Chains A and B, each alone.
Chain A
Amino acid sequence: MEFIAIIVGGIFINNYIFSRFLGLCPFLGVSKQIETASGMGMAVVFVMALASAVTWLIQHFILVPLELEYMQTVAFILVIASLVQFVEMVIMKVSPELYQALGIYLPLITTNCAVLGVAILNVTEDYGFLAAVVNGTASALGWTLAILLFAGIRERWVFNDIPASMQGFPIALVSTGLMSIAFFGFQGLFRGILF
């Protein structure tokens, strides 16, 4: 039951874009086409699940026993940066096809604040190992859902007559705001059933 609450919460209620404001740079930058958006989404799911697992182990087996919790930010960002580099090399060796699909998105993910954000949230929420990995995966799926929906809307802008001063980022932010209102509906939908 705890896992179901984490999954529904991560995807719909505390959606990383619409309510937590994490990972906005790639959300606005790589959402011009559904195809690139789904590539980025896959890469984010992969890295966030892996980063949740690795940072949980670092926190509970290195930082806590040595009483180095204040080094959290430094340790996590270094781990995530090297993890992304490592994943990139492994994928390149093991599956060139997958590398072709994800390759260009992986370096971008290091500076995606959603990855560091989920690592820190796992610690502040005091999740166990499995819960942390489930949370990382679910949050990343929620992020992917958001960017796919947004890319679908964005592809249709070509047919719309948008005022010159609102083109680009302004209209993107206003559309995101309207989608965020729609996602508020989920809060009421699941309240009372799960929380």
Chain B
Amino acid sequence: MGRMVSTFFNGVINENPTLRLVIGMCPVLAVTTAVVNGFWMGVAVIFVLTASNILISLLRNVTPAQVRIPFFIVVIATFTTIADLVLAAFQPDIHATLGLFIPLIVVNCIILGRAEAVASRNTVPLSIMDGLGMGTGFTLALIILASIREILGAGTWFGLPVMPEGFEPAVVMILPPGAFVSLGFLLGAMNLITARLSNRPMGSKSQSSGSAGQKLEG
């Protein structure tokens, strides 16, 4: 039981795919113009990641090693298509806004990476917890970034006005340059916080994961 919980929080905090491993960046930058878009993108990724982890873990003993990558891709593509069609049916506005980035979940390195590293060699419950944890970590990162961009760029949060009367929204935060710059400073802030925490004598827990962006690339 303890291992299940730690697997979940590993994905949310220590190995947060966006803020610590810095993989799968395209949707992170593209859909965070508003919090609601980031939220639905996160939900779609949680679904695809957890469902493909379950199926790949179930079939891990009968999958020939030589064809495992094409097999993973077909599984992920199937669940992505399901997510695409379900969103189109029940949330047509969101589906139109996210557009291209729903089918592009297929080539998101987080999902193929978890299939290869975790689901293909672990039991089903552990793979589920890993999928949920990684997906939640991804969603949280999207919501944090989208909050910064939506509040500064439109003065709203989840569509509700939150800034005082005289606030003049900085439209550049909604435009592409705002995405790059705010994610850059968010990662920088994460590095600073991690460095401060690990300098403290008691907070040495997260030292092993290294600072964001220096562990993995591409």
Bound-state Cα–Cα, A173 to B191, Å: 14
* Nearest CB in chain A to that of B80: its residue: A73
* Nearest CB in chain A to that of B183: its residue: A173
Bound-state Cα–Cα, A163 to B188, Å: 9
Task: Kindly list chain A residues whose C-beta atoms are within 8 Å of the C-beta of B172.
Answer: 181
Bound-state Cα–Cα, A106 to B181, Å: 30
**Contact indicator A165/B107 (Cβ below 8 Å):** no
Q: Which of A71, A77, A177 contacts B179 (CB 8 A)?
A: A177
A interface majority secondary structure: helix
* Nearest CB in chain A to that of B112: its residue: A111
**Contact indicator B178/A177 (Cβ below 8 Å):** yes
Task: Kindly list chain B residues whose C-beta atoms are within 8 Å of the C-beta of A81.
Answer: 70, 73
Q: Which of B29, B70, B103, B187 contacts A24 (CB 8 A)?
A: B29
* Nearest CB in chain A to that of B214: its residue: A168
* Interface of A toward B, CB cutoff 8 Å: 18-26, 28-30, 70-74, 77-78, 81, 108, 110-113, 116-117, 120-121, 124, 163-166, 168-174, 176-178, 180-181, 184
* Nearest CB in chain B to that of A169: its residue: B213
Bound-state Cα–Cα, A166 to B186, Å: 10
Task: Kindly list chain A residues whose C-beta atoms are within 8 Å of the C-beta of B181.
Answer: 173-174, 177-178
B interface majority secondary structure: helix
Task: Kindly list chain A residues whose C-beta atoms are within 8 Å of the C-beta of B29.
Answer: 21, 24
Task: Kindly list chain A residues whose C-beta atoms are within 8 Å of the C-beta of B107.
Answer: 77, 110-113, 116
Q: Which of A20, A73, A120, A177 contacts B180 (CB 8 A)?
A: A177
Known: A24-B26, A169-B22, A169-B213. A73 touches B184 (CB 8 A): no
**Contact indicator A21/B30 (Cβ below 8 Å):** yes
Bound-state Cα–Cα, A70 to B78, Å: 10
Bound-state Cα–Cα, A152 to B159, Å: 40
B143: Cβ under 8 A from any A Cβ: no
Task: Kindly list chain A residues whose C-beta atoms are within 8 Å of the C-beta of B180.
Answer: 173-174, 176-177, 180
